[in-house]
Structure 1
Amino acid sequence: MTDNRTAAVTGATGFIGKRLASVLEADGWTVRRFVRQGKGAGIVGTGDLATADSLDEALAGCGTVYHLAGHAHVTRNAADDEAQFEAANHIATRRMAEAAARAGCGRFVFVSTIKVHGETTDGREPFGPADAPAPEDTYAQSKWRAEEALRDVAAQTGLAFAIVRPPLVFSGEASGNIARLVGLLRRGLPLPLAGIANRRSLIGLDNLAGLLAHLGRAPAIPGVPLLPHDITLSTPDLLRRVAALKGASARLFPLPAGLLEALLRAAGRSEDAARLFGSLEIAADALPAGLGWQPRPDGNPLIAASPGRRLS
């Protein structure tokens, strides 16, 4: 008999999965942490999910499956990237969903990506769940194929499922370009970024984990993709808030954003330019009204970093 308070979490040692497992256990769940290699209490070593042959047994008795495992890193070898994305994101998701259905699991929660909708909202309205998918890179395309595979399995088996497409997830520590820029600010260097007027949606790690946990205990789960966020900021505002969290001042001054973007692109940093200057915004009403969940103001350190700001 399936215990609806037992959850399987793939990618349980990852950034989101580790936090989700802790949140579930604090809420009284028994968690099976699915990892590529490992053993111990509550640990399920599966090997490669795309080829593992013991998934049915590992999932027996689980009420909810949270599938977070996948491949996101891009290398310089496009062919290798495509093969890894296909196996780790698409095929593994299909096999996990099929195994969950055979094992009698009650529901399947899949963490996809906002990039399924595209890379930018420049020149258009913010993304919403009714927007047609338009994945551009191999990573987003593999996540879209994974979503389609999950829908196919659900249609054949009746497996209840939810798809979550989060934007950038923030936990208090910046990464990538933002981390590098904040490092410069902490050394007292001024940056010519005050003139950037883009809009990028984010979600705090605790808020995303809270939403995922809610989907495991809610009486019903929605039939539309979920696009969660808890704040929308420009690049300068994001830098100011992250710097404030680090106890630093953000010394920003304006230069024409178009000029700065052109210089980055000329230097072969087109992807960096897109992230710094482009918008990727989620609509304020993207989550269904009857979902029964709202982000918490203390679920994202960026919100508290600017007193008086409301969730956007």
Structure 2
Amino acid sequence: MSALSLHGSGGPVGRRILVTGAAGFVGGHVLPLLATMSAGAGDCVAGIGRGRAPHLPEGVSYAAIDLLDEAALRGFVARFRPTAILHLAGLASVADSASGPGQTWRVNVNGLMNLVAAVEAVPGCTFFFVSSGEVYGSAFLAGHALSEAVEPLPRNTYARSKWVGEQLLRDLLPRIGVKLVVLRPFNHIGPGQDERFVVASFAGQIARIEAGLVPPCLEVGNLSSYRDFLDVADVANAYADLIGRADALADGSVFNISSGQPRTIASVLEDLRARARVPFEIRIAPERVRPTEIPLAAGDAGRLHAATGWQPRVSWDAALTRVLDDARARLADARKSG
């Protein structure tokens, strides 16, 4: 059963849901969904993030708070008193974590520690920690989709910071009476994603080529890798489904959020190329090739399906169309404002 209402689990009304990283890519999709589902249900949704939240949904409150500002964070949590926290905030780029590991650790671990200190004021809360499918790392060398039973073997700074975050929470949250649910989303795409991520990069380059702003040559990295992609709307629905069933989830639960259907990056590019309005060439750019590439990374989301009935609903065709249309629209807006 899909949690079309935050009452989907038969839990109490009056949930108070806090989303960190609310001004980011996924936050921009989760907040409207939670706002819609909580309308008229007596639930309250709030977001915090760095900077101003664009297009804030009606009925959602927001505060600009950096997780490294411990005092501001403690004050907000004490006032809002969340019953559920969806922790999206953090640095999410593998490439950026490689070039700036110190900042990745500061934000992803120090910020998390500050949030844990803040939630001491709200025992009984459920903490949904958004980790990453990246934590499996070298375990992917098995060559098939992995379940949550597989021991993570992270290979990069970003993945290690997420895996350490999981361990910290397992140690600290039981001491303050807060339930932990770990979420491990795999690659997700959609409107609003930064071009540091591969599909958004392809779409942004295609939009600029179509507009005649750059030569008809698209730069790529390794195209042979297989990755597990989801539309961000499906990821947001998975988060909302689990939040709606917080009372029924066991403490320490771990859920993969994945399609289980890996695709080569080359096939993704060809699918986008078929939607492009002009032809272009492809050039491998050495700086775009990751040195620690895993040949295949995919997840088994059977546990999530069993718990909530969740399954991907956005077709691959629709997902790619959304990404490319968004890249074109953002470019058009930038040219108008420029």
Give the TM-score, by structure 1 length.
0.75
Q: Secondary structure at the match of 2:239?
A: helix
Aligned partner of 2:264 in structure 1 is 234
Aligned partner of 1:65 in structure 2 is 85
Aligned partner of 2:67 in structure 1 is 49
Q: 1:76 to 1:64 in 2, by over 3 A?
A: closer
Matched, 1:168 2:187: yes
Question: Following the alignment from structure 2 to structure 1, what is the Cα–Cα distance between the partners of residues 317 and 119?
Answer: 32
Matched, 1:146 2:146: no
Question: Following the alignment from structure 2 to structure 1, what is the Cα–Cα distance between the partners of residues 274 and 133?
Answer: 27
Q: Does the 8 Å CA contact 1:204/1:300 hold for their aligned counterparts?
A: no
**1:3-57: per-residue Cα shift (whole Å, max 9, x none)?**
74221111111000121111100112422111234599812232x3134114344
Structure 1, 9-18 or 86-95: larger mean CA deviation: 86-95
**Residue identity in the other structure for 2:271:** R
Quote how far apart the aligned CAs of 1:75 are.
5.2
**Residue identity in the other structure for 1:69:** A
Match of 2:132 among 92, 95, 113: 113
Quote how far apart the aligned CAs of 1:122 are.
4.3
**1:160-219: per-residue Cα shift (whole Å, max 9, x none)?**
12111112211157735445556469669799x9xx664310111101111111121114
**1:255-301: per-residue Cα shift (whole Å, max 9, x none)?**
xxxxx9xx87xx465418938xx321223636362333222235983
Q: How many residues align?
A: 287
Q: Secondary structure at the match of 1:287?
A: helix
5+ long unaligned stretches in structure 1:
253-259, 306-312
Matched, 1:243 2:243: no
Q: Secondary structure at the match of 1:13?
A: coil
Structure 1, 285-294 or 131-140: larger mean CA deviation: 285-294
Quote how far apart the aligned CAs of 1:241 are.
2.8
Q: Secondary structure at the match of 1:66?
A: strand
Aligned partner of 1:99 in structure 2 is 118
**1:118-141: per-residue Cα shift (whole Å, max 9, x none)?**
168345332221111111211211
Quote how far apart the aligned CAs of 1:72 are.
3.3
Q: 1:25 to 1:294 in 2, by over 3 A?
A: same
Q: Does the 8 Å CA contact 2:231/2:314 hold for their aligned counterparts?
A: no
Say which structure, 1 or 2, has more relative contact order (CA 8 Å, 6+ apart). Answer: 2
Question: Following the alignment from structure 2 to structure 1, what is the Cα–Cα distance between the partners of residues 126 and 266?
Answer: 40
Q: Does the 8 Å CA contact 1:120/1:279 hold for their aligned counterparts?
A: no
Question: Following the alignment from structure 1 to structure 2, what is the Cα–Cα distance between the partners of residues 286 and 251?
Answer: 42
Q: Secondary structure at the match of 1:72?
A: coil
Match of 1:83 among 94, 99, 102: 102
Aligned partner of 2:30 in structure 1 is 20
Aligned partner of 2:333 in structure 1 is none
Q: Does the 8 Å CA contact 2:16/2:81 hold for their aligned counterparts?
A: yes
5+ long unaligned stretches in structure 2:
1-11, 323-338
Q: Does the 8 Å CA contact 1:66/1:110 hold for their aligned counterparts?
A: yes
Q: Does the 8 Å CA contact 1:8/1:66 hold for their aligned counterparts?
A: yes
Matched, 1:302 2:319: yes
Q: Does the 8 Å CA contact 1:241/1:302 hold for their aligned counterparts?
A: no
Q: Does the 8 Å CA contact 1:170/1:300 hold for their aligned counterparts?
A: no
**Residue identity in the other structure for 1:207:** D
Matched, 1:128 2:147: yes
Aligned partner of 1:201 in structure 2 is 228
Identity value in percent? 22
Quote how far apart the aligned CAs of 1:82 are.
3.0
Q: Does the 8 Å CA contact 2:132/2:159 hold for their aligned counterparts?
A: yes
**Residue identity in the other structure for 1:50:** L
Question: Following the alignment from structure 2 to structure 1, what is the Cα–Cα distance between the partners of residues 217 and 72?
Answer: 55
Q: Does the 8 Å CA contact 2:189/2:200 hold for their aligned counterparts?
A: no
Q: Does the 8 Å CA contact 1:119/1:136 hold for their aligned counterparts?
A: yes
Question: Following the alignment from structure 2 to structure 1, what is the Cα–Cα distance between the partners of residues 70 and 155?
Answer: 29
Q: Does the 8 Å CA contact 2:272/2:320 hold for their aligned counterparts?
A: no
Matched, 1:31 2:45: yes
Matched, 1:217 2:244: yes
**1:99-122: per-residue Cα shift (whole Å, max 9, x none)?**
224223521111111111116834
